[in-house]
C-alpha cells in the first residue's frame, strides 16, 4: 500500500498563525494597550481652609504626553493638549484625592517620571505646584504588538509564501503517489 504524501501539519499551522497575526495585528495592539500598558497618578489636597480645588493642571513630560490616552475621571472634565493635562469642572475638598487613569497607545520606556501639578481653588488662588512621581509601566508586549502592526504586510507575504510551499508539497505528493500506484500496477 502506498504511503500518502501530504504537506506537513506544522506548515499548515504556521500559515494559519501568520494569517491570524496579519488580520488581528490592530486589535492586538488595542488589547495589549488596554490591559498591560495602563497607569495612573493621584493628586491629594489637604488644607485648613474651607476652599475646595476646582481645577488641576498637570505638566507632563513630552514622551508621556505623546503616548498617553487619558480616561475620563469621575466628576471632572479631562483634556490633554500638548504636555498640559487639565482637570476642570470638578470639586476636590480638603482630605480628598483624585486619580487619573491612562493607557499607553505607543511604547515609551518605563520608569518613574516627574509630573508637576498646579491646582486652583474656588476662590481663584493658585496653590504651590506639586511634583508628583508617576510610574510609567514597562510595556514590552505593546512594543512587540506595535512592531507586528507596523510590519503586518510582511506577515501576509510570509503567509502567501507558506501557502505556495504547501501547494507545491501537495502537488509533489500527488505526483509521487501516482508514480507509486503506477509502479504497483506494473509489478
Per-residue pLDDT of the chain (187 residues; tens, 9 = 90+): 445 556 688 899 999 999 999 999 999 988 988 888 888 888 888 876 778 999 999 999 999 999 999 988 888 999 999 999 999 999 988 888 899 999 999 999 889 998 999 999 888 888 877 888 888 888 888 888 899 899 999 999 999 999 999 988 888 888 888 888 888 888 7
- Distance between CA atoms of 83 and 144, rounded to whole angstroms? 26
> Among all chains, which residue has been given the C-alpha cell 481652609?
49
- Distance between CA atoms of 13 and 164, rounded to whole angstroms? 14
Please report, to the nearest 10 degrees, the dihedral formed by the alpha carbons of residues 21, 38, 100, 61 taken in order.
-90
Per the confidence metrics, is the pTM higher than 0.85?
no
Amino acid at each position: 500500500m502506498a504511503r500518502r504524501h501530504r504537506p506537513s501539519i506544522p506548515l499548515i499551522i504556521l500559515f494559519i498563525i501568520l494569517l491570524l497575526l496579519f488580520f488581528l495585528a490592530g486589535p492586538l495592539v488595542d488589547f495589549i494597550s488596554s490591559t498591560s500598558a495602563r497607569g495612573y497618578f493621584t493628586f491629594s489636597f489637604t488644607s485648613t481652609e474651607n476652599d475646595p480645588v476646582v481645577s488641576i493642571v498637570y505638566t507632563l513630560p513630552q514622551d508621556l504626553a505623546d503616548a498617553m490616552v487619558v480616561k475620563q475621571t469621575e466628576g471632572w472634565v479631562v483634556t490633554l493638549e500638548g504636555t498640559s493635562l487639565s482637570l476642570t469642572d470638578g470639586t476636590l475638598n480638603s482630605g480628598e484625592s483624585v486619580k487619573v487613569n491612562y493607557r499607553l497607545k505607543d511604547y515609551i520606556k518605563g520608569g518613574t517620571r516627574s509630573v508637576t501639578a498646579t491646582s486652583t481653588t474656588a476662590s481663584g488662588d493658585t496653590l504651590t505646584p506639586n511634583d508628583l512621581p508617576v510610574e510609567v509601566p514597562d510595556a514590552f508586549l505593546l512594543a512587540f504588538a506595535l512592531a507586528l502592526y507596523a510590519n503586518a504586510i510582511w506577515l501576509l507575504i510570509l503567509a502567501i509564501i507558506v501557502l505556495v510551499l504547501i501547494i507545491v508539497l501537495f502537488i509533489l505528493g500527488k505526483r509521487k503517489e501516482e508514480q507509486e500506484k503506477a509502479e504497483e500496477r506494473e509489478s
